[in-house]
Amino acid sequence: MKKVLILGSTGSIGINTLNVIRNFPEDFEITALTVNTKIGLLEPQIHEFHPGTVVVKDEKLGMELKARIAGECNVLVGEQGLIDAAANLDYDIFVGAMVGFCGLAPTLEAIKRGKIIALANKETLVVAGELVTKLCRQYNAKLLPIDSEHSAIFQCLEGEKKDQVEKIILTASGGPFLNKTKSSLANVTVQEALNHPNWKMGAKITIDSASMMNKGLEIIEAYWLFGVKQEEIEVVIHPQSIIHSMVQYIDGSVKAQLGLPDMKLPIQYALTYPDRQANQFPRLDFAEIGNLTFFRPDFEKFECLMLAYNALTIGGTAPCIMNAANEIAVHKFLNGEIRFSHIPHIISTAMEKIENHKSPDIDAIFECDKETREFVMALS
Ligand code: MG
């Protein structure tokens, strides 16, 4: 029986993790579930999965839940509650399913205890990749990617020698605006941006997919996860999202991982790794799919993609600045405060104006994140 802590159990990844775990009642038990605010969704999860502890980041809502469930399980609250749960509870697998920078601190606690880290929270590696990978080596923690592209690459690398990798090919659906012109991106609506053709996901990552910042974040995530050089990471547009990514080796051979676009697949692989377990998920029907197509990304139209390559080249806190600026810019777009096409402008302004620090420690990363958020919030 593996004990699982899910950081962010009411988001898209958290819910899918519970959907997977529901199929394997003999193999997994839930130690803890955490949420930001959605106690209404958490409550039925408590009744079904009986975690010993839950954490609600919003303190007021946490107290409200505590009164409501009266002793059914232990309730911790606040940012400190998340950190305490990761640092003190008894679990084997830490599922990092929270969105954004706020997943970093609890993830570091789990790493310091040498846990298995099933990571969907790509921002953790984007802002602190150097530190996170160093700590994983130091404390013998195992990082298993849940992001579908990185799970694909991870699977393609199984049984291979790392020094025989020539390049990693990240596939991208291209999102809802793949066929729009650059100038027309200025006028797209929030609803249009939220309408992803292949994947059902939370709002933040869906907007990131529309701007292709999601792929930018994934380039940086791949860089840290797989220890490849920046020029060894290529992005190819593949609108059907059937090939989840590929690895090309020095003999020219390419391995790909394929599957229906369903996050339950990479989640299950991370939970059952190194084994595979039979399931009843729908299967691919190649004859029905018919065609798989590929083309190069348009870096001029999708400026966020180029910004991510630049942030990786600059290094230091540049990816942290990029990420924080993006999080606030996406928030502003969702609130109707800025146009979609302003997202990359805001990010590049932040990257120009905010001072970069080389090899930042954890305090410098938190400082940089805070400074960038305040800077972008103040932009009119
Ligand atoms: Mg992905």
Q: How confident is the model at residue 100 (pLDDT cuts 50, 70, 90)?
A: confident
Domains of the chain: 2-145 (3.40.50.720), 161-259+274-312 (no CATH), 315-380 (1.10.1740.10)
Can you read off the two tokens belonging to residue 70? Answer: 């009266």
Q: What is the rounded average pLDDT of the residues 198-227? A: 94
**Is residue 368 pLDDT above 90, yes or no?**
yes
The pTM of this model reads 0.95
Per-residue model confidence as pLDDT tens digits over 122-152: 999 999 999 999 999 999 999 999 999 999 9
Question: Are 75 and 49 contacting, i.e. CB atoms less than 8 angstroms apart?
Answer: no
Q: pLDDT value at position 101?
A: 85
Q: How confident is the model at residue 320 (pLDDT cuts 50, 70, 90)?
A: very high
Mean pLDDT of the chain: 96
Distance 11 CA to ligand 1 centre (A): 15
Distance 148 CA to ligand 1 centre (A): 5
Q: pLDDT value at position 197?
A: 84
Distance 218 CA to ligand 1 centre (A): 7
Q: Using CB atoms within 10 A of its CB, is residue 321 exposed (0-12), middle (13-18) or buried (19+)?
A: buried
Q: pLDDT value at position 207?
A: 95
Per-residue model confidence as pLDDT tens digits over 32-55: 999 999 999 999 999 999 999 999
Distance 152 CA to ligand 1 centre (A): 10
Distance 149 CA to ligand 1 centre (A): 5
Q: What is the rounded average pLDDT of the residues 294-314? A: 96
**Is residue 268 pLDDT above 90, yes or no?**
yes
Distance 166 CA to ligand 1 centre (A): 21
Q: pLDDT value at position 263?
A: 95
Distance 360 CA to ligand 1 centre (A): 26
d(CA 36, CA 128): 22
Question: How far does Cα 220 stand from its chain's mean position?
Answer: 11
For 76, the 3-state DSSP assignment is strand
Q: How confident is the model at residue 296 (pLDDT cuts 50, 70, 90)?
A: very high
Distance 194 CA to ligand 1 centre (A): 16
**Is residue 380 pLDDT above 90, yes or no?**
no
Helix H or strand E encompassing 32: strand 28-35
Q: How confident is the model at residue 199 (pLDDT cuts 50, 70, 90)?
A: confident
Q: pLDDT value at position 202?
A: 86
Phi-psi label, residue 90: left if phi above 0, alpha if psi -120 to 50, beta otherwise: beta
Distance 164 CA to ligand 1 centre (A): 24
The pLDDT > 90 percentage for the chain reads: 96
Distance 107 CA to ligand 1 centre (A): 19
Phi-psi label, residue 241: left if phi above 0, alpha if psi -120 to 50, beta otherwise: left
Q: How confident is the model at residue 200 (pLDDT cuts 50, 70, 90)?
A: confident
Distance 211 CA to ligand 1 centre (A): 13
* H helix intervals, 300-360: 303-314, 318-334, 342-353
Q: pLDDT value at position 70?
A: 85
Q: Using CB atoms within 10 A of its CB, is residue 362 exposed (0-12), middle (13-18) or buried (19+)?
A: middle
Using the structure block, give the residue that is written with the tokens 């791949």: 222
Q: pLDDT value at position 367?
A: 97
Distance 173 CA to ligand 1 centre (A): 10
